[in-house]
Amino acid sequence: MGGVARGAFHNAALLVEWSGALPALLGLVKEVEARLGRRSTPRWGDRVVDIDLLWAERKHRSPALIVPHPKLAERPFAWEPAREVAPWLPAGRGLPRAVPVGSIVTTLALARPTRADRSVHQRGVAMKFFIDSANLDHIRQANSWGIVDGVTTNPSLIAKEGGDFVETVAEICTIVNGPVSAEVVAESTADMVAQGRLLARIHENVVVKVPLTKEGIAATKELSREGVKTNVTLCFSPVQALLAAKVGATYISPFVGRVDDVSRDGMQLIEEIVALYANYPELETQVLAASLRHPKHVLDAALAGSHVATIPFAVMTKLFSHPLTDIGNEKFTRAWDGVPDRDIVSQVTRWLERNGR
C-alpha cells in the first residue's frame, strides 16, 4: 500500500468483546502496539505492528481515530481474515448493516522482517543498559562486558570520585559509545540553558541532564528546540513525565528506589509512565528507569517496558550471578581437568591446518 514495495506480512483478525468506550479501547490497542515494539514512523513507513478496529455497526470519527478505516473493505489482506472470525461481515465491499452489539473485529498486521531488519528492530526496542557511575575503572570494566549502551552521571557521583567534572565527562565519552548524561547545576532557566549548551559541546554523545522543575522544563524545551538531547531527572509522578515529554525530552528518569523509600511502589510508576506514553505514539521520550537497587528492579523495569535501565556497577555485576550457574560451571571445569590435552586453541589450530581451513 502507498505505492512503496514492502516485504511479507502476517495478517490476522481477532474478535473480542468490549463493554467500555471506544477511546478506552484505542488506548489499550496503542499500549499493545507499543509493547510489541511499534514506534512513530512517517506515513507509509515500515511498522512492526498495525492494528485497526471495526466497531460493531457503529462508526467513529475524531482527530485521533476513524472507525472503520475508510479503505478497510477494499483491502482483502485485512477484510478476509476479519470475515473468518466474523462471518456476518459482507463478502464484497461495504460495511455490515447489523452485527452483534459490542462485537469488535481487530485486524492485525505483523511484519515478517528480514534478518537485517530483525537485528535493527531488536536493537531499537530491547531495553538498554546504562551504567550509573562516574568511576572510570568501573565504567571501563562494565563496558568490556559488551552490555553497556550508555552512562548516567550526577553531581553526587562526580563529587564522590573527586575528579574534574568536565574531564571526567569527556573521558567517559571516549570509553562508551553511547549517550552520556551530564547534569546542569543551576536554578534559573537561563543558566540551565547556558550550561546545557556548553555541556553538549564536550562530545556529540553528551545528554544534558535537567531537573524536573518549572525552570528545568522550560530549559528542556529550549534545549530540545536547539537539537540538544536532554534527560529530565528527579521524576516521581506520571504527570511530571508527561510534562517532560511535551517539551521534547529525550529521556525521563523516574526514581524507582526513592519512591520505594517512602513506602510507595516505585515500579508502578514505571508502568504508569510507559502506559501513559503508549496512549500518544507521537511522544518520543524514552523511559529511563533510575534508582535501581537490585536485579529484581532491573527485571521489573524490563517487564514494564522501560526503554532504558540505568544500573549502579554493584547491581550490574549481580545480574550475572546465579548459584546454579556457579555450580554448573565449577562442575564442567572439574570434569575438563581430567582431559589429557586441555589446550583447545592448539588442538583447533592443528585441526584447521590438517584440513586446509
* Residues designated as active site: 209
Contact 316, 129 (CB under 8 A): yes
What is the C-alpha separation between 256 and 253, in angstroms, rounded?
Answer: 9
Is 18 exposed, middle or buried, given 0-12, 13-18 or 19+ CB atoms closer than 10 A?
middle
Beta bridge partners of 286: 251
Contact 185, 195 (CB under 8 A): yes
Contact 250, 260 (CB under 8 A): no
What is the C-alpha separation between 171 and 149, in angstroms, rounded?
Answer: 16
Cell numbers linked to 324: 546454579
